Amino acid sequence: MNHQELLSSLISYAIDKHLIKTEEISTRLGFLCDLFQYEPFDVINSVKRPYHEWMTDCLDLAYNRGILAWNTIDERDAFEAKIMDLVMPSPSEVKERFHHLYQQSPWDATDYLYQLSKDVNYIKSRRLKENIEWIYESPYGKLEMTINLAKPEKDPRDIANAILEKKESTEGRPLCVICKENEQNYWNARMNLRIVPITLSDELWHFQYSPYLYYNEHAIILHDIHKPMHISHKTFDFLFDFINQFPTYFIGSNADLPIVGGSILSHEHFQAGRYHFPIEYAKPMRSFTHVPGLVIEHLNWPMTTIRFKSKDQSLVKLYGCHLYDLWKHYNNPMLSIVSSTGNTPHNTITPIARLTEDGYELDIILRNNRTSEAYPFGIFHPHEDVHHIKKENIGLIEAMGLAILPGRLKSELDLIEKVLKNGLPSDPALDKHSHWMAYLQKLPKLDSKVLFSEVGKKFERVLLDSGVFKLDYEGIRAVHQIIMEL
């Protein structure tokens, strides 16, 4: 395809997907010609090809013309976003359309933003298909397993480039990867990002989708101001206000302390989406009904979770706050639970809210981030013997029963199977798995199905390690005492 065919393909794609109107064709084509440094021309008919095919050609063209500085994944992603920004609605048009559609129904509005985010390849649907997914049947119900291949490993040239750029200037860069200023920003490939403002409990927040889409309609709800994650009574107001406005979405917050929190503690945000996580199906070990109109359940879940259910949201919120206040200062040295060291707090929560046919549901997962000599990475964090599978923080998504395992595991698991089945000498890349491999070798049968199931078992252990109260007599009794005190 020559440049006229390529750029014409872009325009016809944008028309097909209703990203631009027919009367805008020549203006938009003019923008593209400017970007690619070509003289203006009229749109020509071109052969229809899949999006990624002609986009690859467009990016190669940009590189060959010297417009793209580096031919790396990061640079190509950023430039692709810049191209798509020229053939899609502006941020203000998207905000207006979202709010107009919201008047019809919340899902018309979210469907619109979600489809748009996919059509402009801000959500990288094709890469997401490469992820490996399976189900592991645990004693606590189904756990969902994924090896994430959609988030590309960093190219060393991009890392070097980032260091170089950081030294030179940070001008025009948002303070973090989720600040609202990322919208239509070249840095971090966000030129094609569109976000919409929403009001939660009288404060300004913004709604956007995650480009990595760990689950269906994975949304990020970020505060207007770049300020640290902070859980308080107000958090419950925000969460419930959100599910009242978007009743088909769940919403949850990561904990606000290192080790037990998510990867971004510097900017207050929540994660939401149209998805039912394994935790939602967890069965109660015991239900308590000592508060009229409210059911409190201790869930049979590897991470300590207390669920509040009621038709009355104020009752759920009130008792959620009671539990949070009690937990913040709760100590049980026999079970290694110490709420603070000096002025440094250790106890916090991971809260999740949803609306069901029976009313409001609030899950509170109790967290503690203390470390000790025996557990320098965290007492209630995956212990070192499972780090070969997962050592990162166990944030909201994993606490709800969806494992996001690093991409390296794909090749490592293939290699493990090959080595063990054929009695080959091990590979240095598998050193971290040596203990596990000795165990696997003793299994009566080993194929990829068994291997995946064994990885599932490890994830179950990851969650059990992260649970503050273990599911033994002492642990269960202590949780029930807490509930009775509420």
Applying CB under 5 A, the residues found at the interface with Zn ion are 175-176, 179, 226, 267
Least distance between Zn ion and beta carbon 264 (Å): 8
CB closer to Zn ion out of 194 and 267: 267
CB closer to Zn ion out of 224 and 280: 224
User: Which element (helix H / strand E) includes 465?
Assistant: helix 448-466
* Owner of token pair 């509420």: 486
Spatial distance between the Cα atoms of 384 and 390, rounded to a whole number of angstroms: 9
CB closer to Zn ion out of 179 and 231: 179
Beta bridge partners of 351: 364
CB closer to Zn ion out of 219 and 462: 219
| Residues 1/23, Cβ–Cβ less than 8 Å | no
Least distance between Zn ion and beta carbon 186 (Å): 17
Least distance between Zn ion and beta carbon 179 (Å): 3
Least distance between Zn ion and beta carbon 173 (Å): 11
CB closer to Zn ion out of 125 and 266: 266
Least distance between Zn ion and beta carbon 229 (Å): 11
Least distance between Zn ion and beta carbon 175 (Å): 5
* Cβ within 8 Å of residue 483, ≥6 positions away: 288, 296, 298, 306
C-alpha to C-alpha distances, 29 to 20, 35, 64, 180, 221, nearest whole angstrom: 11, 10, 20, 28, 34
| Residues 486/319, Cβ–Cβ less than 8 Å | yes
| Residues 460/143, Cβ–Cβ less than 8 Å | yes
In one-letter notation, the amino acid at residue 29 is L
CB closer to Zn ion out of 118 and 226: 226
C-alpha to C-alpha distances, 128 to 19, 88, 212, 406, 461, nearest whole angstrom: 22, 22, 7, 14, 26
